[in-house]
Amino acid sequence: MKLTGKEELIKIIKDRIEKEGSISFRDFMDMALYYPELGYYTSPKTKIGGYGDFFTASELDRAFGELLGKQFVEIYQKIDEKPFQIVEIGAGKGYLAHDILKYLKENHPEVYKNSEYILIEKSPYHIQIQKEVLKDFEIVKWVQDVIDFEDESITGIIFSNELFDSFPVHLIRKIGGKIYEVYITVDENNEVKEILKEPDEEILKYLKELKIEIPEGMQTEINLDAKDYIQKIGKKLKKGYVITIDYGFPSAELYKYYRMRGTLLCYYKHQYSENFYENVGLQDITSHVNFSALAYYGKLAGLETTGFTDQAHFLTNLGLMDIFAELQEKGDLESYERLNRLKTLVLPKGMGEKFKILVQHKNIENPAIQGLEILPYQNQRYKL
């Protein structure tokens, strides 16, 4: 009998466990999300949107892309070098790219003409959709990996929306004052079982470098892939900005005692759960981003922190309230529906405070930008 994709993936994971005795949670998550053709992101299955498992801001309303586009125009004028490169990493279905490109083409043809829009995407399924969605924009091209760029070769912007939260993470637990790492094995009933082992050396180094003390009994995530990736990006940038939009916190908030189970969650058909071992390859697994780590390791690769804010402040600084006023004035059904959707982007209980924006720059003399003009109250949720 032919195995389903899920069964095939589980078999591949179990075969690897049998060969190696156990595998780290990070490697399990990497296979569950990215195993060629069978992983959650690599298989041909709708993930983002109403028929998928979760929504992203890119899906909600074109205003998100338009306001980002407006921010990109300010950066274009500041940098004043051609070609201006906009590199989007992990663009998903390409809707955000579409809205940014449409805004630039229609409102700033000069910027559009002098720009290259480069997408880097790990999911072949998403690349296929992106090619269709972006077929009308001549300045778009795809590059397989960020490492394909020469060092210090990008002038412009490197940005992502919900990229780092989809990286595979190491899981750690603190017991008796000691850090252990979660590994996966299979018991005598062929069921997946977690075991604790000595942690990867890099994890201990990370905790020390970032001065992270986690409370006794806590289980949490360490995103070493994000640490490496932000340094890769930093090295490739010659002059410009890195803009990272995602849910997450600085270290001081992320490892607080009231997050004793960490932030790792699964999403399947808009329902969340903490069972990482069911719906393997069919459900998303995601964790909150440690923005202190992106700032710290980015700096090692030459990226200075320009500012750190939340989505509500960032979009408001860029003129979201003017869009609200215009829609309110129009008052028709479509405008009313758009208004409702847009509120989700800024409401504290929606995406407004959950989503943060980290802006970093390299070789820019006056780095201040409009999106960072008014910052949120500087409590520990905003101190990197």
Which residues, 55 to 94, sit near ligand SAM by CB under 6 A? Answer: 56, 58, 89-92
Shortest distance, position 109 Cβ to ligand SAM, whole Å: 26
SS3 334: helix
Name the DSSP letter for residue 348. Answer: I
Nearer CB in complex with ligand SAM: 39/156:
39
Nearer CB in complex with ligand SAM: 95/180:
95
Distance of alpha carbon 269 from alpha carbon 46, whole angstroms: 10
8 Å CB contact between 92 and 48? yes
Does 316 interact with ligand SAM (rule: CB under 6 A)? no
Tell me how long the chain is: 384
Does 117 interact with ligand SAM (rule: CB under 6 A)? no
Shortest distance, position 277 Cβ to ligand SAM, whole Å: 20
Does 226 interact with ligand SAM (rule: CB under 6 A)? no
User: Side chain identity at 333, as an amino acid letter?
Assistant: L
Pick one of 30, 61, 99, 121: the residue that binds ligand SAM (CB under 6 A). 121
Does 263 interact with ligand SAM (rule: CB under 6 A)? no
8 Å CB contact between 125 and 146? no
Does 162 interact with ligand SAM (rule: CB under 6 A)? yes
Nearer CB in complex with ligand SAM: 9/218:
9
Q: Estimate to the nearest angstrom the gap between the alpha carbon of 299 and the chain centroid.
A: 19
8 Å CB contact between 36 and 28? no
* Buried residues in 273-307 as b, exposed as e (16+ CB within 10 A): eeebeebbbbbbbbbbbbbbbbbbbbeebbbebbb
Only one of the segments 115-123, 128-136, 263-271, 369-377 lies at the binding site for ligand SAM (rule: CB under 6 A); that segment is 115-123
Shortest distance, position 380 Cβ to ligand SAM, whole Å: 26
Pick one of 123, 287, 306, 311: the residue that binds ligand SAM (CB under 6 A). 123
Secondary structure element (H or E) that encloses residue 250, with its range = none
Which of 94, 49, 68, 57 minimizes the C-alpha distance to 347?
A: 57
Shortest distance, position 170 Cβ to ligand SAM, whole Å: 16
Nearer CB in complex with ligand SAM: 56/220:
56
Does 283 interact with ligand SAM (rule: CB under 6 A)? no
Distance of alpha carbon 37 from alpha carbon 90, whole angstroms: 17
Query: What angle in degrees, to the nearest 10, is found between the helix axes of 62-79 and 320-330?
Result: 140
Distance of alpha carbon 240 from alpha carbon 116, whole angstroms: 14
8 Å CB contact between 48 and 55? yes
Which of 256, 170, 259 minimizes the C-alpha distance to 213?
A: 256
Shortest distance, position 120 Cβ to ligand SAM, whole Å: 5
Tokens 């990008």 identify what position?
154
Which residues, 186 to 215, sit near ligand SAM by CB under 6 A? Answer: none
Size of the site for ligand SAM (CB under 6 A): 18
Shortest distance, position 127 Cβ to ligand SAM, whole Å: 9
Nearer CB in complex with ligand SAM: 79/294:
294
Shortest distance, position 39 Cβ to ligand SAM, whole Å: 9
Shortest distance, position 161 Cβ to ligand SAM, whole Å: 4
Distance of alpha carbon 302 from alpha carbon 305, whole angstroms: 10
Shortest distance, position 315 Cβ to ligand SAM, whole Å: 15
- Which residues are at the interface with ligand SAM (CB under 6 A)? 41, 48, 56, 58, 89-92, 96, 120-123, 126, 161-163, 166
